[in-house]
Structure 1
Amino acid sequence: MDINHFKETIKPFFWVEHAGSFSVCLDVGSYKQEVFNTRADEGFEGNGYDWGSLAQVFLAEKRPDLGESIRFDPEGGMFCAYSSEGNKLQDFILDFKKACEDEAVITDLFSRAELD
């Protein structure tokens, strides 16, 4: 896939290349906030840590083959996943974005996310 097409496909996530590693990030707060609102009474806010918890469930259940390659480094206002293997990180974010766009799938995955 052409890099520009890839970057468009994963929006609102964004791709960052570093020397020797790659990251995919999301400025949280507007994308899929309604999913997190369903568990606001439990303390979920839709912050970067909540996205990290959701992504961990996704990785464990849907893409365990990538579990050794993908790491998370969320912050309050940003979700961030990174890897030294760009192709594996691309596989992860393409599948994660697809899951995010399927309300039934993302709601089901989020039901097992744990508050960080």
Structure 2
Amino acid sequence: MEYEGNFSVSLTVGEYKEEVFRRRREEGFLGTGYDWTSLALVFLTEKQPELDESIDFDPEADTFCAYSSDGEALKTFALAFKAACEDRKLIQDLFSRAELD
């Protein structure tokens, strides 16, 4: 979505990849937008450091939201993060380093 020169992508959390968060539920991870942001930050730092300064996050309890003034950077991030989420081994490895917000 584009709004006032910024682009955003969002995910209503709850069911998608719930099993990833379930593995660390005893640590307090519930699969909220904040937890998704923690996971996305690990992904961005390790897999796309060149985009680190271009992508920002604005999570809520029930929504994960990434945004940027650079539409192409956001698209690159979103597609790569989605692909990583579909790779069970990779996403579990990345999530093992996520920090509870």
- Aligning the two structures, in what range does the TM-score lie when normalised by the shorter sequence? over 0.9
Unaligned runs of 5+ in 2: none
The number of equivalent residue pairs is 101
1:40 matched to 2:25? The reply is yes
- Matched letter for residue 30 of structure 1: E
Deviating above 4 A after TM superposition, structure 1's stretches of 4 or more consecutive aligned residues are: none
Q: Structure 1 residue 74: deviation in Å?
A: 0.4
Q: What CA distance in whole angstroms lies between the structure 2 residues aligned with 1:45 and 1:29?
A: 9
- Could you list the per-position Cα deviations for residues 43-86 of structure 1 after superposition, in whole angstroms to 9, with x for gaps in the alignment? 00000000000000000000000001000110000000000000
- Matched letter for residue 22 of structure 1: F
Instruction: Give the structure-1-normalised TM-score.
Output: 0.86
1:20 matched to 2:8? The reply is no
Instruction: Give the structure-2-normalised TM-score.
Output: 0.99
The secondary structure found in structure 2 opposite 1:65 is helix
**Of residues 23, 27, 41 in structure 2, which corresponds to 1:56?**
41
The secondary structure found in structure 1 opposite 2:59 is coil
Output the aligned Cα RMSD.
0.4
Q: Structure 1 residue 17: deviation in Å?
A: 1.3
- Matched letter for residue 106 of structure 1: I
Unaligned runs of 5+ in 1: 1-15
- Matched letter for residue 54 of structure 1: L
Q: Percent identity?
A: 64
**Of residues 89, 96, 103 in structure 1, which corresponds to 2:81?**
96
The secondary structure found in structure 1 opposite 2:10 is strand
Q: Structure 1 residue 34: deviation in Å?
A: 0.3
